[in-house]
Structure 1
Amino acid sequence: MPTTARWAATLTLTATAVCGPLGGTALAAPGPGPSALYAPSALVLSVGHGHSAATATAERAVTLNCAPTASGTHPDAPRACAELRETGGDFDALSVRAGAMCTKQFDPVVVTVDGVWQGKRVAYERTFANECVKNSYGMNVFTF
């Protein structure tokens, strides 16, 4: 997928994840409600085969919303959000799963994350040697 199309898809998914809940005929006035207690955490995670996001063939993307509750199209949003909370939103701090065994086959997989984590802009990219290695980081965040 060309880089322009990838960015368009990422921005569309991010806008949907962040602005989707705002749709409706009326919005409540800001006040001390449950949503006022949480900074927004809405991410778009994508994966593709290639050496970098610029050259990768995009395969799939999911949304992950972590505040006020875990939701989105990520297959295990509650656990993925819990892992990110444990690392303070630091994707590099996700540890390798104990006992993970992968082949040394080189078939690069690139993961990108765009959005907002606890009110701060996030743009992350990481290339893994293969799909197994990608899935071994953390328990759920990159498993989609």
Structure 2
Amino acid sequence: MRNTARWAATLGLTAATVCGPLAHSALAAPETPAASPASLYAPSALVLTMGHGESAASAGAARAVTLSCAPRPSGTHPAPALACAELRAVGGDPDALAGPGDALCTRQYDPVVVTVDGVWQGKRVAFERTFANECVKNAAESSLFTF
């Protein structure tokens, strides 16, 4: 049941992020026949979740944020501009940003799972990573996972 609720929330937030600006522009009368700048970008809207547990199905989302990178960084992520820049640098691959950092962490096992679901430049993104604990998650040295 938790997994169903998580997917419903993810899809709802993604739809609102991607379709919200489209609905507004569809209702507005065009000023000129040329395309608006917002319509020139492929959608890049993601929902990021974080929970305690070994998998997203068993963890349940403790926190969730949205991140939209086109036409400009926005969303509920605490650092959308930095997170979007990091994603652009790795071609939208969250796995490239989840690598180990230089921080020294304890070996305490208190698993933290992070998911990234949505669309990056028009392509579907589905990412899940389980970190041994919160320190290891934060050691990834990426603002994408800092929320």
TM-score by length of 2: 0.88
Check if 1:81 corresponds to 2:75.
Answer: no
- Give the conservation status (yes or no) of the 8 Å contact 1:41–1:67: yes
What secondary structure does 2:76 align onto? coil
When you count helix as a share of all residues, which structure comes out higher? Answer: 2
1:124 aligns with 2:127: yes
Report how many residues are paired: 143
Q: For residue 27 of structure 2, what is the aligned residue in structure 1?
A: 26
**Cα distance change on mapping 1:2 and 1:32 into 2, 3 Å:** same
Aligned to 2:11: 11
Alignment check: 8 A CA contact 1:6 1:58 kept = yes
Residues 1:59 and 2:66 aligned together: no
Are residues 1:104 and 2:107 paired? Answer: yes
- The C-alpha deviation readout for 1:99-118, integer Å capped at 9, x for no partner, is 32221111111111111001
C-alpha distance in structure 1 between counterparts of 2:96 and 2:14, whole Å: 23
Displacement of 1:142 in angstroms is 0.3
1:83–1:138 contact (8 Å) kept in structure 2: no
| Pairing 1:48–2:51 present | yes
Report the Cα distance in structure 2 between the residues aligned to 1:28 and 1:115, rounded to whole angstroms. 29
RMSD: 1.9
- Displacement of 1:28 in angstroms is 4.9
| Whole-angstrom CA distance in 2 between matches of 1:20 and 1:113 | 20
Structure 2 unaligned residues grouped into runs of 5+: none
Q: 1:36 to 1:16 in 2, by over 3 A?
A: closer
C-alpha change, 1:88 and 1:105, in structure 2 (3 Å) is same
Deviation at 1:17, TM superposition (A): 1.1
Contact conserved, 2:54 with 2:130, CA < 8 A, in 1?
yes
Contact residue 53 and residue 112 of structure 1 kept, 8 A: yes
For the 8 Å contact 1:44–1:64, the answer to whether it is kept is: yes
> Which of 49-58 and 67-76 deviates more?
49-58
Q: Extract unaligned runs of 5+ from structure 1.
A: none
